[in-house]
Amino acid sequence: MFKAKRNGAGISGSYAFYSQGMDAHIAGKLFLESGLRKALHQQEFFLVYQPKIDVQTRALVSVEVLLRWQHPERGLISPSEFISIAEETGLILQIDAWVLNSACQQAKLWQDAGLTPFRIAVNLSANEFTSGLPSKIEAVLRQYQISPDWLELEITESMLMHNTESVIEIMEQLVALGVSLALDDFGTGYSSLSYLKRFPISSIKIDRSFVQGIPADASDCAIASAIIVMAHQLQLKVVAEGVEATEQYQFLSAASCDEVQGFLFSRPTSPQEIVNLIGKVF
């Protein structure tokens, strides 16, 4: 009797807790969703840029464009919190278009300032990978008169899962425009290695989750080294993301990784700061 009562209380207690948690979760999503609709018009988005460093020359060779949302009440919100909601609601298409435009506008300013050429890498959402993409990219390059070799597009494995043939066709059209393609978060998706051979990508980015364990975790070291060797044999460049410690950089450099990106070199930063980092030996 006593036991049954306790169990009963326990179950209803945890049920109430669970349901409250769910309500809070849904409320939080709705809050972000309605906020996202306004964010574009109210200019709450801005871009930050994170350098990728060439391991050989130790110079900045590329910057990854990362989206930030300055929410009027909640403050700065990270893309990992709102990109999936934007994808579910379809708002991502407008957001990605805004990112691409603003990044190219910025690239044009850098290009016109006569800076040593470097690439700008824009992240694309899976929803974006449709037959209309190449003409969108072509239009924005033309609008801002950006040399196509300045633009790199970062895509993830999940985008390559469905309709492989049409995906390859879109990728080939993008490459024909002169832009390059990088496979982001490599190793976290399905990672069918045959993809690497079939897709016209020029680089892969080793995911931060593998870089984190270097050099203490023997498996992470083995995985990172193996990715580098394999990629080089397929004539692909390798970028390691999330490099935070000197030991990680030393390991990756010894393993012939081509480029590194992470807080060790620079956090994502403003366009003004990027100008100061060009020409610097990291």
Near ligand C2E in 115-174, by CB under 6 A: 123-125, 154
Closest approach of ligand C2E to the CB of residue 255, in Å: 18
Return phi, psi of residue 44, to 5°. Answer: -90, -10
DSSP 8-state class, residue 252: H
Closest approach of Mg ion to the CB of residue 34, in Å: 27
Asked if residue 83 binds ligand C2E (CB under 6 A), the reply is: yes
Near ligand C2E in 99-118, by CB under 6 A: 99
> Which residues of this protein are in contact with Mg ion, per CB under 5 A?
123, 154, 184-185, 241
CA pair distance 205, 124, nearest whole angstrom: 14
Which of 152, 157, 220, 241 contacts ligand C2E by CB under 6 A?
241
CA pair distance 128, 93, nearest whole angstrom: 6
106 and 52 Cβ atoms separated by less than 8 Å: no
Pair of tokens at residue 51: 């350098």
Which of 244, 273, 278, 282 contacts ligand C2E by CB under 6 A?
244
Closest approach of ligand C2E to the CB of residue 99, in Å: 4
Residue that is written with structure tokens 């290695």 in the block = 193
Which of 53, 182, 268, 277 contacts ligand C2E by CB under 6 A?
268
117 and 81 Cβ atoms separated by less than 8 Å: no
Considering only CA atoms, which of 224, 161, 147, 162 is closest in space to residue 187? 224
Return phi, psi of residue 191, to 5°. Answer: 50, 40
Which listed option, Mg ion, ligand C2E, none, makes contact with residue 78 (CB within 5 to 8 Å by class)? ligand C2E
Near ligand C2E in 14-53, by CB under 6 A: 50
Which of 77, 137, 140, 184 contacts ligand C2E by CB under 6 A?
184
Q: Which stretch binds ligand C2E (CB under 6 A): 110-118, 188-196, 227-235, 240-248?
A: 240-248
What number of residues does the chain have?
Answer: 282
CA pair distance 177, 175, nearest whole angstrom: 5
Residue 209 identity (one-letter amino acid) = S
Cis peptide before 215 (omega within 30 of 0): yes
Closest approach of Mg ion to the CB of residue 171, in Å: 17
Closest approach of Mg ion to the CB of residue 27, in Å: 28
Interface ranges with ligand C2E (CB under 6 A): 50, 66-67, 78-80, 83, 96, 99, 123-125, 154, 184-185, 208, 241-244, 261-263, 268
